[in-house]
């Protein structure tokens, strides 16, 4: 121990040396390019090499081929303005691409219709809500007043008192699921995670990250959790508490798990409220469902532990974000005080985007509960329109009652899928009808689809796929089922 102490002191002394010259920097800061052959290069030209050698391209397209390299400024750039001009041209081209892509987007549940012009003035600030939203950090450039205002709005929507809830604005739906499931695990360290097969992939990622036992539960054709199978699995694991992920709108089919039936199944299987924890993944529909009359209600008056919803989906936001609400009791189990923050560590992330809460606050204020109701109504109406027109055109399609996600046969042509940015799985694709998707856009899409199909399937030997297994025979109009 003495030896170790001596080492400490001498090392410390050297580090704190008074001889340090702060002007002694590396003479040439530009690091040499590293290339496979060890030569210096110009930064391009090794894409082919890369593709041959390294990256395993599993799906989609490889971006390295089209990336916008960062280049070192020239000494006279300030004088010539060449670099500024180059960057402006890149950005102008990019903006055009974004407009084009936004116009044709149909596949992902993002509301692309928003105008945050009034907030552009805030982009100049580094707004960071690090730590707990309810406990002000020493870092003053934050937006907690907005964040808590937004959280209160959601707490009211999901029926929990201001004094009883805790929550925060997350970076995305995944963070909400990671947080909710982590609370579940901290409340029940030996709990088993139950989630339907059609749950978002982040739920299974959480199980792996957190080293939790996980039971995948079967689904109905609609995509809902199959509570009969759930019961079988609960009864086989009666000795351990249950942590359940309930989907308020699955990713692919927009199916809503029946929360009441899930609770009933737990009770019937002998799980009392002190032996289960329910996290509701409301990514998209968490915000739509409260405005649909016949929807099973997501409410903290029921024995649920947490609800998460995405902010960039139905609300619409330039960057991904989400809202996570849980019970105050639970968060005290999870959190740790961090003096450096002068706040509490109860979130998954540390530094937190302070702009997102202001975007949400702005839209919630503008639209209000009534505005969201109108938009939900419009979306469901347009989704029905799309499903009906697909059926009329002899195309297999399904629409769950509480959903604006229309599932249909996967288009044959990948270029068409990419053009309309459709999310696909196996033989099915989907369109999520969001507030920015109007009838005109749907007509454009439908007309193009019908026209293309006539060429894809002109040869009698190529048939549209049967998707009865995905959508049920009553929604499939393939050769066998029509």
> Which residue out of 196, 269, 335, 403 is catalytically annotated?
403
Closer residue to its own copies in complex, CB, 195/220 = 220
What are the residues facing 280 on neighbouring strands? 246, 307
Q: Are 96 and 103 in contact (CB under 8 A)?
A: no
Residues 289, 132, 301, CA angle at the centre, nearest 5°? 35
Angle of helix 144-157 relative to helix 355-392, nearest 10 degrees?
40
Least distance in angstroms from the C-beta of 50 to its own copies: 4
Q: Are 446 and 392 in contact (CB under 8 A)?
A: no
In sequence order, the 6+-apart residues with CB closer than 8 A to the CB of 64 are: 47, 50, 55
According to CB under 8 A, which residues from 107 to 126 bind its own copies?
A: 107-108, 110-112, 114-126
139 binds its own copies (CB under 8 A): yes
Q: Are 358 and 137 in contact (CB under 8 A)?
A: no
164 binds its own copies (CB under 8 A): yes
Least distance in angstroms from the C-beta of 54 to its own copies: 4
According to CB under 8 A, which residues from 22 to 51 bind its own copies?
A: 22-26, 29-31, 33-36, 43, 46, 49-50
- Nearest to residue 108, comparing CAs of 344, 482, 433? 433
Kindly tell me which residue out of 85, 87, 469, 480 binds its own copies, with binding defined by CB under 8 A. 87
Distance CA 482, CA 75 (A): 70
At 70, phi and psi to the nearest 5? -80, 130
Kindly tell me which residue out of 95, 238, 240, 463 binds its own copies, with binding defined by CB under 8 A. 95
Closer residue to its own copies in complex, CB, 56/460 = 56
Least distance in angstroms from the C-beta of 478 to its own copies: 18
Region near its own copies per CB under 8 A, out of 10-18, 271-279, 438-446, 457-465: 10-18
What are the residues facing 243 on neighbouring strands? 193, 277
Region near its own copies per CB under 8 A, out of 200-208, 236-244, 263-271, 450-458: 200-208
Q: If you search the block for the tokens 């739920």, which residue do you land on? A: 203
Q: Is 107 exposed, middle or buried (CB count within 10 Å of its CB: 0-12, 13-18, 19+)?
A: middle
In sequence order, the 6+-apart residues with CB closer than 8 A to the CB of 102 are: 112
Closer residue to its own copies in complex, CB, 18/460 = 18
Region near its own copies per CB under 8 A, out of 235-243, 271-279, 370-378, 455-463: 370-378
- Nearest to residue 242, comparing CAs of 279, 286, 203, 287? 279
Contact string 308-347 vs its own copies (x = CB under 8 A)? --x-x---xxxxx-------x---x---xxxxxxxxxx--
Q: If you search the block for the tokens 């060890």, which residue do you land on? A: 38
Q: What is the DSSP letter of 222?
A: T
According to CB under 8 A, which residues from 223 to 282 bind its own copies?
A: 224, 226-229, 232, 251-252, 258
According to CB under 8 A, which residues from 398 to 427 bind its own copies?
A: 398, 400-402, 417-418, 421-426
Residues 309, 312, 315, CA angle at the centre, nearest 5°? 80
Distance CA 427, CA 339 (A): 53
462 binds its own copies (CB under 8 A): no
Closer residue to its own copies in complex, CB, 278/288 = 288
Distance CA 397, CA 478 (A): 11
353 binds its own copies (CB under 8 A): yes
Least distance in angstroms from the C-beta of 403 to its own copies: 10
Kindly tell me which residue out of 197, 214, 216, 349 binds its own copies, with binding defined by CB under 8 A. 349
Told to judge if 403 belongs to the known catalytic residues of this protein, a careful annotator would answer yes
According to CB under 8 A, which residues from 57 to 86 bind its own copies?
A: 57-64, 66-73, 83
Region near its own copies per CB under 8 A, out of 15-23, 240-248, 274-282, 437-445: 15-23
- Catalytic positions, please? 403
């Amino acid at each position: 121990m003495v030896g170790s102490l001596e080492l400490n002191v001498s090392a410390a002394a050297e580090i704190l040396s008074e001889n340090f010259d702060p002007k002694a920097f590396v003479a040439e800061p530009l690091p040499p390019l590293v290339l496979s052959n060890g030569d210096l290069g110009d930064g391009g030209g090794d894409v082919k090499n890369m593709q041959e050698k390294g990256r395993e391209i599993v799906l989609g397209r490889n971006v390295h081929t089209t990336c916008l390299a960062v280049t070192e400024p020239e000494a006279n750039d300030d004088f010539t303005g060449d670099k500024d001009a180059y960057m402006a041209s890149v950005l102008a081209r990019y903006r055009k691409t974004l407009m084009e892509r936004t116009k044709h987007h149909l596949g992902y549940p993002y509301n692309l219709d928003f105008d945050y012009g009034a907030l552009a003035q805030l982009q100049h600030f580094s707004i960071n809500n690090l730590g707990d939203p309810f406990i002000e950090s020493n870092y003053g450039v934050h937006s907690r007043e907005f964040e808590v205002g937004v959280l209160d709005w959601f707490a009211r929507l999901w029926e929990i008192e201001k004094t009883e809830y805790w929550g925060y604005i997350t970076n995305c739906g995944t963070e909400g699921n990671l947080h909710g499931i982590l609370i579940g695990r901290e409340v029940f360290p030996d709990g088993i995670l139950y989630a339907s097969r059609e749950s978002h992939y982040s739920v299974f990622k959480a199980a792996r990250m957190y080293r939790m036992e996980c039971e995948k539960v079967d689904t109905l054709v609609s995509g809902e959790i199959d509570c009969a199978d759930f019961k079988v699995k609960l009864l086989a694991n009666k000795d351990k508490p249950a942590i359940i992920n309930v989907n308020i709108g699955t990713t692919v089919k927009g199916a809503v798990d029946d929360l009441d039936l899930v609770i009933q199944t737990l009770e019937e299987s002998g799980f009392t409220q002190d032996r289960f924890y329910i996290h509701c993944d409301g990514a998209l529909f968490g915000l739509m469902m409260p405005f649909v009359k016949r929807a099973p209600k997501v409410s903290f008056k029921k024995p649920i532990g947490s609800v998460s919803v995405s902010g960039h989906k139905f609300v619409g936001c330039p960057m991904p974000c989400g809202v996570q609400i849980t019970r105050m009791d639970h968060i005290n189990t999870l959190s740790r005080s961090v003096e450096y923050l002068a706040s509490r560590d109860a979130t998954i992330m540390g530094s937190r985007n302070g702009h997102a809460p202001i975007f949400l606050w702005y839209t919630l204020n503008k639209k209000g509960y009534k505005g969201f109701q109108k938009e939900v109504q419009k979306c469901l109406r347009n989704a029905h329109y799309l499903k009906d027109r697909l059926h009329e055109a002899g195309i297999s399609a399904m629409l769950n009652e509480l959903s604006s996600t229309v599932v249909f046969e996967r288009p044959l042509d990948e270029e068409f899928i990419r053009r309309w940015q459709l999310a696909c799985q196996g033989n099915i694709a989907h369109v999520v009808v969001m507030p920015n998707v109007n009838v005109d856009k749907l007509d454009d899409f439908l007309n193009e689809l019908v026209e293309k199909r006539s060429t894809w399937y002109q040869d009698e030997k190529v048939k549209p796929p049967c998707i009865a297994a995905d959508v049920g025979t009553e929604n499939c109009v393939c050769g066998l089922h029509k």
